[in-house]
């Protein structure tokens, strides 16, 4: 379980996060949603310790994040971030094998079991055919799949993903999020597409201007009453393919207090 307790963070004195909290239970997927610049990615960076919060704490399975080191941290947490290098001089197989690095002996290199684990991870994300390609030559969507495979190869208990569906076509958006949902780990994922969040997340945390606007089950968070003031659009709810579905439209002139001519 991942617990975020009253986290605050500033950039050069400007408040980016204020009193943010959430809980990701084991085996569940929590979606972080909100407008651009709301603080979603910053919160994720705080959770995986790329940023140090001004206030609050992150606790993983009862242990403060600050107390975890080396292999203990790697065994608990895998990350797919947006700032991974795109020009790494590695093949795809080598990139995915980096997920096994915490478990490889200092002078032993990768074992046959490590290589099997990495190959299996590539297969699970539909990228086994890319194994011998240079990572730097991949498209954005291909790179994303490989980075998720690297995280799967790490076999951590918890997974953090920052907009993993960027650059992916519709098929792979659904396949990857379906795969993530079915993993026996707790997952926190930043998503912009609210319909994907509705289908693949167990619960949602809606962040706006650095604070939590709403949190809880999908049906409770994704309501017009909550979403319209945050996103400044008209929202209608329906259902499709067994999941809640949202329709969006521009706010009317009347809703802005301006009479149409």
> What pLDDT, in 10s, does the model give residues 146-205?
988 999 899 888 999 999 888 788 988 898 898 888 887 889 999 999 999 999 999 999
**What pLDDT is stored for residue 107 in this prediction?**
61
> What CATH number has the domain bearing residue 119?
3.40.50.300
Residue 243 in any domain: the answer is no
> What pLDDT, in 10s, does the model give residues 54-99?
999 999 999 999 898 878 888 889 999 877 677 778 999 999 999 9
Reduced 3-state DSSP string for 156-200: CCEEEEECCCCCCCHHHHHHHHHHHHHCCCEEEEECCCHHHHHHH
Number of Cβ within 10 Å of residue 207's Cβ equals: 25
> What pLDDT, in 10s, does the model give residues 93-114?
999 999 998 877 656 788 899 9
The CA distance from 154 to 117, in Å, is 9
The CA distance from 183 to 152, in Å, is 9
Is residue 182 classed as helix, strand or coil in its secondary structure?
A: helix
The CA distance from 144 to 163, in Å, is 10
CA 215 to chain centre: 16
Residue 203 in any domain: the answer is yes
Q: At what angle do helices 112-124 and 140-154 cross, to 10 degrees?
A: 130
In the block, which residue shows the tokens 């055919």? 129
**What pLDDT is stored for residue 38 in this prediction?**
93
Domain of 47?
Answer: 2-223
Residue 251 in any domain: the answer is no
pTM (2 decimals)? 0.86
Residue 205 in any domain: the answer is yes
Residue 240 in any domain: the answer is no
Residue 246 in any domain: the answer is no
Residue 29 in any domain: the answer is yes
Number of domains the chain contains: 1
Q: Check: CB of residue 70 under 8 Å from CB of residue 77.
A: no
**What pLDDT is stored for residue 180 in this prediction?**
85
């Amino acid at each position: 379980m991942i617990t975020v307790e009253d986290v605050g963070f500033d950039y050069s004195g400007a408040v980016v996060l204020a009193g943010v909290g959430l809980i990701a239970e084991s085996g569940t997927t929590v979606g972080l949603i909100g407008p651009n610049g709301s603080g979603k990615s910053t919160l994720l960076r705080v959770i995986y310790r790329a940023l140090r919060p001004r206030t609050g704490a992150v606790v993983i399975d009862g242990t403060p994040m600050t107390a975890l080191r080396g292999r203990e941290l790697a065994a608990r947490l895998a990350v797919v971030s947006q700032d991974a290098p795109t020009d790494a001089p590695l093949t795809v197989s080598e990139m995915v094998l980096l997920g096994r690095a915490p478990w490889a002996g200092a002078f032993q290199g990768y074992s046959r079991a490590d290589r099997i684990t990495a190959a299996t991870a590539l297969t699970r994300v539909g990228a086994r055919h890319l194994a011998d390609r240079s990572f730097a030559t991949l498209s954005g969507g291909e790179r994303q799949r490989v980075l998720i495979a690297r995280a799967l190869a790490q076999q951590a208990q918890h997974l953090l993903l920052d907009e993993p569906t960027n650059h992916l076509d519709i098929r792979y958006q659904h396949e990857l999020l379906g795969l993530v949902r079915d993993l026996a780990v707790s997952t926190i994922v930043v998503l912009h597409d609210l319909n994907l969040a509705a289908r693949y997340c167990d619960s949602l945390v809606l962040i706006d201007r650095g604070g939590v606007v709403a949190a809880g089950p999908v049906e409770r968070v994704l309501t017009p009453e909550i979403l319209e003031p945050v996103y400044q659009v008209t929202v209608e709810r329906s259902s499709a393919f067994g999941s809640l579905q949202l329709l969006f439209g521009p706010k009317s002139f009347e809703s802005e207090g301006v009479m149409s001519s």
